[in-house]
Amino acid sequence: MLEKVSSAENRRFPRARQSQDFHEYLNDYRAGHPDDVLVIDEQVSSDQDITAVLWALAEQGKSPLLVFPKVAGLTMGVATNIFGSRVRAARMLGATPQTLHEAYQFYANQLVPTELVSSAPILDVVERQHIDLSSLPMIRHFETDRAPYITNGIIVAEHPDTGAGNLSYHRAMLHSPTELATSLHSRGHLWRLLAIAKERKTPLPVAMVIGAHPLFMLAATARVPLGVDEREVAGGLFGEPLRIVKTPRYGIGVPACAEIVLEGVIDPTAEVQEGPFGEFTGYSSNRSTNNLLRVEIIMRRKNAMLIDVAGGNSAEHLNLGRIPRESEMVEKLKERFPSVTAVHYPSSGTHFHAYVALKQVRPGEARQVMLGLLGWDPYLKTVIAVDHDVDVSQDASVLWALATHFQPHRDILTVDGLPGSALDPSSSGIGTTSRMGLDATRGPDFDSVRAEISPASIARAAGILGRAGKL
């Protein structure tokens, strides 16, 4: 249950006070975890090199926070892959990967009102005339992308009557020196605010935040009802009010320590071409709402960095959207089904697969749990249920359970004709999808004993290999 509080007290996940400045976050993280940050001092191209480096590391099973101080054609350095590691994301919340869901819900459910400040880094440079967006730092992530893109564009809009804010991610590419082509989510809250503006025959004032503290970035993906201000969710994640300044023309509250902010309007009557773009499915998507953002003011800090979100089916892109959704699903499932011990959305399944582990207390409970997940999460197509002793964070463990516990004639359930993700390349032309649950639990009649090695032998083996220099 969301509630407004003045501060996040009685913390179950103790941590040091969070700076709201990305530069301080980066410096502190490099000092505390130097092995988890990789700085590429060599100059790289802004055309796909950064994505190629990230993909090469991922193939080696590595996911460091990446910093590129020198990028050809850009006037600033680039930081990316911040959310490429769930360990790194958990550290932001004083948690571990095993307690990440609980920690996120604990902090995100505490709504902390924003704090207006008069001076801030984002006010270092304010350009009101001769706007030229070609000077903005943008990189091309994939050869199939239509153009270089802003992938970390968080649009801030406020309800015209209530003033309640809304944060949401929207990719953007250059359309003209003063305009960006962007895509809105046609089922999202910003789309509904734009519909109100269209009814009133007026443009929708917005601010696009390009780069801020990771906890602000995480708050922008929160799953909350329309009218709940994600800036207050950010305050919950920080454990203190998000410090904001008002944009010069429309008075929209944006983070005081943001890197770059664009203020302008979305024209509800204009349509421009945008895309294709490498989406979370791993495919290039032409699907777009083709909206136009007219930029009237550019704000930036003097030492700004481009904080990039790796596109496509990168772990970062998936984790950013997945952590809040997983956390909500885990909370719901455990409230309804105390037997659930873990939930995991594997990167291999983009947003379409989930694994759930449980200690079944009665026959058929795994099916109930899977139906709950398939009904609550509109993106999911496949859920695999396993026993509590199977590590759902490891694809290989889940596939082992599927191979040894699952019988297709009895352990599969399907549901057809449900709304699905518009970006699913396999869905129908009208946006519906079928869904499947696979029960890979052992069941009441299972009669086999798992082969195990004694803890004493495991300890002796570790010693032997350690002395041999193999561990």
Read off the CATH number of the domain in which 431 is found. 3.40.1670.10
Burial 222-237 (b: 16+ CB within 10 A, else e): bebeeebbbbbbbbbb
Domain boundary among 292, 310, 328: 310
Specify the pTM. Answer: 0.87
Look at residue 447 and tell me if it is in a domain: no
pLDDT given at position 429: 63
Q: Is 139 found in the same domain as 263?
A: yes
Look at residue 107 and tell me if it is in a domain: yes
Q: What are phi and psi of 125, to 5 degrees?
A: -130, 125
Q: Are 45 and 35 in contact (CB under 8 A)?
A: no
Look at residue 21 and tell me if it is in a domain: no
- Separation of alpha carbons 231 and 198, rounded Å: 25
Look at residue 118 and tell me if it is in a domain: yes
Look at residue 178 and tell me if it is in a domain: yes
Token code pair at residue 463: 């010693």
Q: Is 428 found in the same domain as 290?
A: no
Residue type, 212: A
CATH of the domain at 129: 2.30.110.10
Look at residue 56 and tell me if it is in a domain: no
Q: Is 398 found in the same domain as 305?
A: no
Domain boundary among 240, 275, 310: 310
Per-residue pLDDT of the chain (471 residues; tens, 9 = 90+): 454 444 444 457 777 777 999 999 999 999 999 999 999 999 999 998 999 998 999 889 899 999 999 999 999 999 999 999 999 999 999 999 989 999 999 999 999 999 999 999 999 999 999 999 998 999 999 899 899 999 999 999 999 999 899 999 999 999 999 999 999 976 789 999 999 999 999 999 999 999 999 999 999 999 898 889 999 999 999 999 999 999 999 999 999 999 999 999 999 999 999 988 888 777 777 788 889 999 999 999 999 999 999 888 788 888 888 898 889 888 988 999 999 999 998 888 778 889 999 998 888 999 999 999 998 888 889 999 999 999 998 999 999 999 999 999 999 999 888 887 777 777 766 677 889 999 999 988 888 888 889 999 999 999 999 888 866
Look at residue 251 and tell me if it is in a domain: yes
Residue tagged 């030492």 (tokens): 303
Q: Are 189 and 229 in contact (CB under 8 A)?
A: no
Look at residue 168 and tell me if it is in a domain: yes
Q: Are 172 and 293 in contact (CB under 8 A)?
A: yes
Q: Are 292 and 179 in contact (CB under 8 A)?
A: yes
- 64 class by beta-carbon count within 10 Å (0-12 exposed, 13-18 middle, 19+ buried): middle
pLDDT given at position 10: 46
Q: Is 420 found in the same domain as 298?
A: no
Q: Is 197 found in the same domain as 158?
A: yes
When divided into structural domains, the chain yields a total of 2
Q: Is 356 found in the same domain as 246?
A: no
DSSP string, 237-286: HHTSPPEEEE-TTT--EEETT-SEEEEEEEETT-------EE-TTSSEE-
Domain that holds residue 162: 3-11+99-310
Coil, strand or helix at 420: coil
Q: Are 327 and 320 in contact (CB under 8 A)?
A: no
Q: Is 242 found in the same domain as 116?
A: yes
Q: Is 253 found in the same domain as 138?
A: yes
Q: Is 350 found in the same domain as 252?
A: no
Q: Is 287 found in the same domain as 200?
A: yes
Q: Are 236 and 112 in contact (CB under 8 A)?
A: yes
Q: Is 301 found in the same domain as 231?
A: yes
Q: Is 246 found in the same domain as 136?
A: yes
